[in-house]
Structure 1
Amino acid sequence: MSPRTSLLVLLGATLAAGCGAEPSTSGPRLGLEVTINRAIADELGAFQVVVLPEGKSRRCGDIQRSCLAQQVKPDEALLLEGADGKKARALRFNAGLNSNGAQEVAVDIPVGRDYVVVIEALSRANPPRFLGSSCNYLESVSGTRNEPLIAAPITLVGGECDPTFAP
């Protein structure tokens, strides 16, 4: 069995009050749904996904105050692989929400325990601007079957920090 498993990330933007679509669950994939606020819908250009080990030792409230790249050393983040084969410690996905406000992306992450999944909302500007983030504790990732993780809403903070995560 492979030491890595797929994390299927369902990025759902519930742009008004209410619930998004149910994340899918099948095989070793983990569904994840993220909620954003209507205020940033027009500015939203991409999502950046980062997975950190030692989740229980991290405080999500602190993580969400500014760009993650300014808070952790690049080698602290797990090496991820996107569906296109690209490997990086932070994977970016262009925002392409469907009519239901959802977006699916596949990410391979190592099988393991005690993670924090951070999803940052980035602006369309060049260079991108940090809009806010969602921080989620993930107890474990299995090589077989993973239950969906409903992500915390993206906390809007905005900021002039550089969200670029070193390779």
Structure 2
Amino acid sequence: MSPRTSLLVLLGATLAAGCGAEPVSSGASLGLDVSIERAVADELGAFQVVVLPEGRSRRCAELQRTCLNQQVKQNEALVLQGPDGERGRALRFEAGLSGGAQELGVDIPVGRDYVVIIEALSRSTPPRFLGSSCNYLESVSATRNEPLIAAPITLTAGECDPTFAP
């Protein structure tokens, strides 16, 4: 079996007041269920997924305050693989909300004690940080993994460019 495995992650993201829709499960992919206030949805361009090791030693409140790339060294992030075979320490998915939901697939290396950060990015160039979700992930196994229901995205818009270098 491959040393990588797909993980299902569901994110109920509320970028302002209100509640997210019920999470949608579709098997072994990284799923993202997003409900966004209209004013913010007009600015939303993409989601960026980053996974860091030593998750329990990290403070989510700190990681969510601004762009992750300003807080961690790029080589700290794990190399992920998207459904198209693209590999990187940060995977970006264009926002394509359909009825408030969007599914994404990400392979995360087998291991323990991770933190999954999902950043909401603006559609401007360069993109701006709109907010993020921080989620502790106890383990990823080479066999079946239970879905991770991700925390809502905390709106903390900033002027930083959240882009990780390739």
TM-score, L = length of structure 1: 0.89
Confirm or deny: 8 A CA contact 1:23 1:148 kept in the other structure: no
Instruction: Kindly tell me the number of residue pairs found equivalent between the two proteins.
Output: 165
Partner residue of 1:17? 18
1:54 alignment partner AA: E
Mapped contact 1:33–1:150 kept (Cα < 8 A): no
Q: Identity of paired residues, percent?
A: 76
Is 2:122 the counterpart of 1:117?
A: no
Shift of 1:37: 4.5
Give the AA of the match of 2:3: P
Provide the C-alpha distance between the structure 2 equivalents of 1:4 and 1:133, rounded to a whole number of angstroms: 25
- Report what 1:150 is aligned to: 149
TM-score (norm 2): 0.89
Residue in 1 that maps onto 2:77 = 77
Q: Can you give the 5+ residue segments of structure 2 that lack an aligned partner in the other structure?
A: none
Q: Does the aligned pair in 2 maintain the 1:66–1:132 contact within 8 Å? A: yes
Instruction: Map Cα deviations across residues 10-63 of structure 1 (whole Å, 9 max, x no partner).
Output: 55555773442333163x555454555544111100000000000000000000
Q: Partners of 1:117 and 1:21 in 2: how far apart?
A: 20
Tell me which stretches of 4 or more aligned residues in structure 1 moved more than 6 Å: none
CA distance in 2, matches of 1:91, 1:161: 18
Q: What are the ranges of 5 or more consecutive residues in structure 1 without an aligned counterpart?
A: none
Partner of 1:103: 102
Give the aligned residue type for 2:119.
Answer: E
2:44 touches 2:120 (CA, 8 Å); kept in 1?
yes
Could you report, residue by residue, the CA deviation over 1:70-114 in whole angstroms, capped at 9, with x for unpaired residues? 000000000011111111100000000111x11111111101110
- 2:9, 2:3 → 1: CA distance? 19
Three-state SS of the structure 2 residue aligned to 1:162 is: coil
Aligned to 1:163, what secondary structure does the other structure show? coil
Give, in whole Å, the separation in 2 of the partners of 1:57 and 1:103. 30
Does the 8 A contact of 1:21 with 1:102 survive in 2? Answer: no
Aligned equivalents of 2:30 and 2:45: distance in 1? 24
